Amino acid sequence: MPKAMSNTDKTGGGKMPARMGAFERIGVPADVDESRSAAVCRRDDGAERIVIAARGYVLIVDPETGSCSQLYFPGGEGQYPFASASDPRGWFYTGAGRYFYIVDPFTPAFVGQHRVPEGEEEAGFAFAVKGDGRVYATTYPGSYLVELDASSDSSRTLCRLDSERKYAMTLACGSGGKIYAGLGTTSPAIACFHEETGELEILLEGPPDMPGSAAVLQGCNGSVYGWLPSGENGDGRWYRLGEHGVEQVPAEKVGPSLYKGAGYNKLYLDLVGGRKLLTWQLSDRQIDIMEADGSLSRIPLAYKGGGTPLSPLYGGPNGILYGTSNHPLHLFTYDTTARLLTDWGGDIVERGGGGNIAAYAAQGNIIVGAAYAGGMVHLLDTAKEWNTEEGLCRNPRLIYENAAVHRPRCAVAHPDGRHVLYGGFPGYGAAGGGLGIVDVQAGQVKMLEHQEIVRGQSTISLAILPDGRIFGGTSIETPGGGISKAGEAAMYELSWPDRKVIRRWVPIQGAKEIAQLAPGANGVLYGLTSESVFFVYDADLQQVVHRSGLSTWGRIVRQGLLMTEREGRPFLLGLLSRALFTVNPVNMQPELLDRLPAEATSGIACLNGDVYFGSFAELWRYRLEEEGNYFYESV
């Protein structure tokens, strides 16, 4: 049984009271932060600091004394860092939002701040350090190469590494003034910038129709290595990059890297004297160090975080509210009867890491959860205790993964009592997500590719009418860096017996996303676009019979439309970032239920007559008033 932690807010806490009219702030389900890269910083005198980058701050740890210092990014910057490094003088480098930041961890203080090139959105997707102390970094989405010179407190843009490949996730410094970069995601490539001449060349690249990313590795021995994927199964080839060009080498000949770890949780360098950092997770609130003699020591991490933002919520078949936090993934539950909020930690969901469960649907006692990253499908048996032992007894249990739905956005239970459909965005560099069909009883999944649904688009909303007709809504966006060729989002109808799309159409001209769908009675579907346009589609008439712009009530929220029941009758709940609403079933007009005391960022579940939503890291409840029944009295 995993360790659980109660996070129910019994005192209200925060900046606002626990109750505000019909609204109640329940608490912060996951009061932890995520490590977003780290580095060991070392001065000439041998003094060391471990610096961990996080959303909104850096945490500086003295590995000798265990003391912790927390420095918040200037100006209240709250975006996620992606990578970090340290220079020979012991200064720390990272990026967040549109700025690169330099920290002297021994003072401690910020000693440098440099803005990305105009039009760029994120700083510091990768770093590399030169022997003379200059540091190189990349940006997103333009993949610019930037030089940071802390000695002169200056920065300059050296070049744009690629105009189409948006992700420059690895960098390495070679001899002769060469800077190497691993690029993706529409196709993989390795680029080399010659600092002395200003020349940029592509050394290696994959097929143009194969999405993915290449990588470069700065070896501890000074060598630079490159890796280029050779297929969709994760295989690839290694190369040594240097004065003599490109030379293919076997994987066992590749020297160890200055970095260890993976993704956005890499560590640059390690402690001296035979000590090794094993873990540096803020979510665990501790650092684990393997001492030179083989013993294990732990340093508690003391920091003040804002809690982890919540992903969409789900009302389980057992009357329990389920959800996860997002970066890092912690599974939490809220017992609405006992009023108990429980954080089950980060290990309960297999390979959860820095992801989240973004879409849910249930068949009987089994909740199907579709998770980012990688399109993982988990089965949560609500009739059994949690179990983290490997095998069929594990609960939750990972049964499938497929990057065709790398970023899940929607799920719906089929009325046959056995299947769940889910959809979302594809992996990095791709355009068009799949549609997964989960056989809950068999624990198997069939994936329909986007070419079978709507070519080049991703299913991000699903609804099934009471008569069993299945409808989907799409997005033309490509959050993984792919290139979209579609002009507007569509809806489609899926024939269940043969699993084929029988009709496609554009319900709202110019809409980029049919972001939400919910089923109604008499062949009616309710929808929301990403621009907060509410519409009603009559599937029998095959036309939109009502539309309203709701942007004055806020932006859309994931899982922001829910068809539930009140007094035994269908009742539509809608959530936007500033308001809760329903629809008048007579004239199809949206009607305001209430304005929110806190901005909604994740939706929406209804249990025992109460509505639940997330506001960043906080869980909120709204109690529906009985006088809301006047809608039905007018029918």
Cα–Cα–Cα angle for 481, 484, 485, rounded to 5 degrees: 160
d(CA 83, CA 80): 10
| In contact, 357 and 409? CB cutoff 8 Å | no
Q: How far is CA 237 from CA 6, 417, 473, in A?
A: 48, 46, 39
Q: Using one digit for the tens of pLDDT, what is the confidence trace for 259-306?
A: 999 889 999 999 999 999 999 999 999 999 999 999 999 999 999 988
Q: Using one digit for the tens of pLDDT, what is the confidence trace for 119-172?
A: 999 999 999 999 899 999 999 999 999 999 999 999 999 999 999 999 999 999
Residues 165 and 125 in one domain: yes
The amino acid at residue 403 is A
Give rounded-to-5 percent helix, strand, coil for the chain: 5, 50, 45
Residues 252 and 399 in one domain: no
Residue 624 has which token pair? 């529906």
**Quick one: what percent of the chain has pLDDT higher than 90?**
88
Is the confidence at residue 632, as pLDDT, over 90?
Answer: no
- What is the CATH classification number for the domain harbouring 491? 2.130.10.10
Q: Does residue 74 sit in helix, strand or coil?
A: helix
Residue range 547-575: mean pLDDT, rounded: 95
d(CA 249, CA 441): 46
d(CA 97, CA 53): 13
Number of neighbouring beta carbons within 10 Å of residue 455:
13
Query: Is residue 30 domain-resident?
Result: no
Residues 158 and 180 in one domain: yes
| In contact, 527 and 535? CB cutoff 8 Å | yes
Residue 131 has which token pair? 């022997």
Which residues have a Cβ under 8 Å from the Cβ of 265 and sit 6 or more positions away? 35, 36, 37, 38, 281, 353, 354
How does residue 535 score in pLDDT terms, banded at 50, 70 and 90? very high
Domain boundary among 259, 278, 300: 300
| In contact, 222 and 200? CB cutoff 8 Å | no
Among 1-15, 366-380, 541-555, which is the least confidently predicted range?
Answer: 1-15
Which domain covers residue 614, as residue numbers?
310-510+598-623
Distance of CA 84 to the CA centre of its chain: 19
Distance of CA 277 to the CA centre of its chain: 26
Task: Quickly list DSSP for 307-363.
Answer: -PPB---EE-TTSEEEEEBSSS--EEEEETTTTEEEE--SSSSTT-TT-EEEEEEEE
Burial class (CB in 10 A: 0-12, 13-18, 19+), 490: buried
Residues 336 and 292 in one domain: no
Task: Choose among 97, 83, 58, 196: nearest CA to 135.
Answer: 83
Query: Is residue 588 domain-resident?
Result: no
Q: Does residue 83 sit in helix, strand or coil?
A: coil
Among 373-382, 391-400, 521-530, 566-575, which is the least confidently predicted range?
Answer: 566-575
CB neighbour burial string for 411-445, b if at least 16 within 10 angstroms, e if fewer: bbbbeeeebbbbbbbbbbbbbbbbbbbbebeeeeb
Q: Using one digit for the tens of pLDDT, what is the confidence trace for 105-118?
A: 999 999 999 999 99
| In contact, 79 and 327? CB cutoff 8 Å | no
**Quick one: what percent of the chain has pLDDT higher than 70?**
95
Q: Does residue 629 sit in helix, strand or coil?
A: helix
Is the confidence at residue 68, as pLDDT, over 60?
Answer: yes
Task: Choose among 609, 582, 614: nearest CA to 598.
Answer: 614
| In contact, 303 and 68? CB cutoff 8 Å | yes
Q: Mean pLDDT: which of 305-314, 344-353, 490-499, 567-576 is highest?
A: 490-499
Q: Using one digit for the tens of pLDDT, what is the confidence trace for 196-234?
A: 999 999 999 999 888 899 999 999 999 999 999 987 677
Rounded-to-10 torsion of CA 226, 484, 504, 565: 80
Domain boundary among 238, 269, 300: 300
Which residues have a Cβ under 8 Å from the Cβ of 61 and sit 6 or more positions away? 49, 50, 51, 52, 67, 68, 287, 299, 301
Query: Is residue 325 domain-resident?
Result: yes
Residues 249 and 161 in one domain: yes
Question: What is the predicted pLDDT for the residue at 219?
Answer: 95
Is the confidence at residue 613, as pLDDT, over 90?
Answer: yes
Is the confidence at residue 72, as pLDDT, over 90?
Answer: yes
How does residue 573 score in pLDDT terms, banded at 50, 70 and 90? very high
d(CA 243, CA 142): 28
d(CA 240, CA 243): 10
| In contact, 554 and 577? CB cutoff 8 Å | yes
Query: Is residue 144 domain-resident?
Result: yes
CA atoms within 13 A on the CB side of 117: 16
How does residue 481 score in pLDDT terms, banded at 50, 70 and 90? confident
Question: What is the predicted pLDDT for the residue at 134?
Answer: 95
Residues 133 and 171 in one domain: yes
Task: Choose among 67, 504, 631, 574: nearest CA to 302.
Answer: 67
Residues 213 and 325 in one domain: no
Question: What is the predicted pLDDT for the residue at 254?
Answer: 96
The amino acid at residue 46 is G
Residues 238 and 291 in one domain: yes
d(CA 238, CA 185): 18
Query: Is residue 630 domain-resident?
Result: no
Residue 454 has which token pair? 């709507």
d(CA 567, CA 631): 12
Enclosing H/E stretch for 450 = helix 450-453
Is the confidence at residue 7, as pLDDT, over 80?
Answer: no
| In contact, 275 and 582? CB cutoff 8 Å | no
Strands 212-213 and 178-185: antiparallel
Domain boundary among 254, 278, 300: 300
Is the confidence at residue 191, as pLDDT, over 50?
Answer: yes
Residues 104 and 243 in one domain: yes
Q: How far is CA 169 from CA 49, 185, 210, 246, 320, in A?
A: 25, 10, 17, 20, 40
Query: Is residue 305 domain-resident?
Result: no
Number of neighbouring beta carbons within 10 Å of residue 36:
25
Q: Using one digit for the tens of pLDDT, what is the confidence trace for 36-53?
A: 999 999 999 999 999 999
Query: Is residue 21 domain-resident?
Result: no
Residues 60 and 121 in one domain: yes
Length of the chain as a residue count: 635
Residue range 497-503: mean pLDDT, rounded: 97
Residues 421 and 467 in one domain: yes
Query: Is residue 551 domain-resident?
Result: no
φ and ψ of 183, to 5 deg: -120, 155
Where in 430-568 does DSSP place strands (E)? 435-439, 444-448, 458-464, 470-475, 491-495, 500-505, 514-519, 524-529, 533-538, 543-549, 556-566
Q: Using one digit for the tens of pLDDT, what is the confidence trace for 426-478?
A: 998 899 999 999 999 999 999 999 999 999 999 999 999 999 999 999 999 99
d(CA 115, CA 118): 8
Question: What is the predicted pLDDT for the residue at 383?
Answer: 97
Task: Quickly list DSSP for 374-386.
Answer: TTEEEEEETTS--
Residue 220 has which token pair? 């501890």
Count of H helices and E strands in the chain?
2, 56
Cα–Cα–Cα angle for 248, 250, 256, rounded to 5 degrees: 105
Q: Using one digit for the tens of pLDDT, what is the confidence trace for 317-331?
A: 999 999 999 999 999
The total number of structural domains that make up the chain: 2
Q: Please compute Rg for the chain using Cα positions.
A: 26
Residues 125 and 249 in one domain: yes
